[in-house]
Amino acid sequence: MNQDIRDLIPITVWNHFSDLNAVPRASKKEEKVVAFMLAFGKQLGLETLVDSVQNVIIKKPATPGMENKKTLVLQSHLDMVHQKNSDTLFDFNKEGINMTIEGDWVTAQGTTLGADNGMGVAAIMGILSSKDIQHPALEALFTIDEETGMTGAMGLEAGYLKGDILLNLDTEEDDEIDIGCAGGIDVTAVKTYALQAMPKKSMAFKLLVTGLNGGHSGMDIHKGLGNANKIMNQLLLEVGDLIQIISINGGSLRNAIPRESFATVMISPEQKDQFLETITEISNLIKIDFIKIEKNLLIELEPVSVDFDSGLNKKDQSQLLNALKHAHNGVHKMSEFMTDLVETSNNIAKVLVANGEISIKCLTRSSIDEGKKELAGLLTNVFENEGFQVKLSGSYPGWQPDKNSEILKVMKDLYETMFAKQPKIVACHAGLECGILGKNYPQMDMISFGPTIKGAHSPDERVSITSVQKFWKFLIEILKHSPDKK
């Protein structure tokens, strides 16, 4: 089916995307894709370099007649989120993504697709390899580690880029032009606990929460999607007096709404009936709460055999469940300045309980720095009140909108001419690299746009074929009509 992808229009974009998707490129494991991009640039005979943090920069001179245009920086990130369904056998470190076509959509078979931000990378590759597309002088910036800390953008030093305008190709609705984004900070709560022996003749059960939609913890946070960690905690709270928690493993990546959670608990045989009855009752209520948006939610319970004889003591168990109950998850505040924009939110992304250690990882986002600090502070108080130690890390700034942007006017006028309607001028509740890049390049005019992508950061990720065609045509016209040098 990957050959069918290569036959799609525009062929240059889909072929570059297919080549890219054959290369493993998890965040913080970009060695292979960095080598791939270096070979690509050098094969074209273009100036190609890699900076101290492994960002790749490829420069291409202006085509004849475009020398007096301002230099454009085309920017996308090389890494992708690696997520798969629990029943999918796939090794992200060795295998290329298996793609398929479903109507107007390209998707992957049981894994994330990598359209975020692979479509942007592929489009830039298409421009760099072209021989007939008009464009000003170009600087292609391919950053690393956007998904798990934006360390590529943070590490890019001043002086590498000479461009006046930056086009970030990393948003996910083709009728939107993005002029701002949220900043973020990681909130991690940790705690050790003394193992407590379980009573003899205890029974072990595994509780499974699966089948949730998941999604991007910024772009999808307002949709009311189920968070597997919150759902699991709700279940465990209801039976807290009956159980002893042995382990919990919920969620995966900080920037993905958790789709699955698994817990192993012990109970005494005398409390089995009450335990099963309560779990069934609460499971039914939770499914009713999510019946419209999480139609595939599964809450299952199965007896298991365990090779250990100890778990959480009652005090630590109670503190864990209370902390997760009171820790905010989801939208915290909507913007007062832009309609329908989430200002501040939190995602309880990962919960691990095992072998005497508890770890809770959250990603807090806000388009306002004070909002980010406020919610991180509230979370810190909740966790510290329950005996956890809290670490704040990975803070990155938001990107403040500039409604007087020169390239924004060019793009608005082009969009209206080409598509006979006005684009939506928006800011997004995701972390784009523009705000970070702007620290070392404060005079650079920046815009973000891209094709329509749904379900990013989940195995349901898909990109619209017709939208890629629209995006590509728009990008080519922007290059042709980029502003002149003053």
Beta partners for residue 392, in sequence order? 187
CB atoms within 10 A of CB 129: 17
Rg (CA), the chain: 24
Residue tagged 């007896």 (tokens): 303
Whether residue 146 lies in the annotated active site:
yes
Q: Tokens 């074209």, residue? A: 44
Catalytic residue status for 79: yes
Q: What is the rounded distance in angstroms from the CA atom of residue 223 to the CA atom of residue 178?
A: 20
Task: Write down the catalytic residue from 79, 178, 238, 294.
Answer: 79
On the question of a cis peptide bond just before residue 258, with omega within 30 degrees of 0, the verdict is: no
**Other beta carbons within 10 Å of 237:** 15
- Strands (E) in 193-309, as ranges, are 196-197, 203-210, 215-216, 244-250, 256-257, 261-267, 298-304
Helix axes 228-238 and 314-326, enclosed angle (nearest 10): 130
Long-range contacts of 97-105 (CB under 8 A, 24+ apart): 97/21, 97/22, 98/1, 98/2, 99/1, 99/2, 99/5, 99/18, 99/21, 100/1, 101/1, 101/4, 101/5, 101/8, 101/465, 102/462, 104/464, 104/465, 104/466, 105/454, 105/462, 105/463, 105/464, 105/465
Please give the DSSP secondary-structure letter assigned to residue 84.
Answer: B
Cβ count near 328 (within 10 Å)? 16
Number of Cβ atoms within 10 Å of the Cβ of 268: 16
User: Would you tell me the crossing angle of helices 369-385 and 314-326 to the nearest 10 degrees?
Assistant: 160
What span, in angstroms and rounded, lies between the C-alpha atoms of 73 and 124? 10
**From start to end of 21-172, where are the E strands?**
47-50, 56-60, 72-77, 99-102, 105-108, 138-143, 165-168
CA angle 177, 183, 185 (to 5 degrees): 150
Catalytic residue among 146, 172, 238, 294: 146
**Hey, which residues are catalytic here?**
79, 146
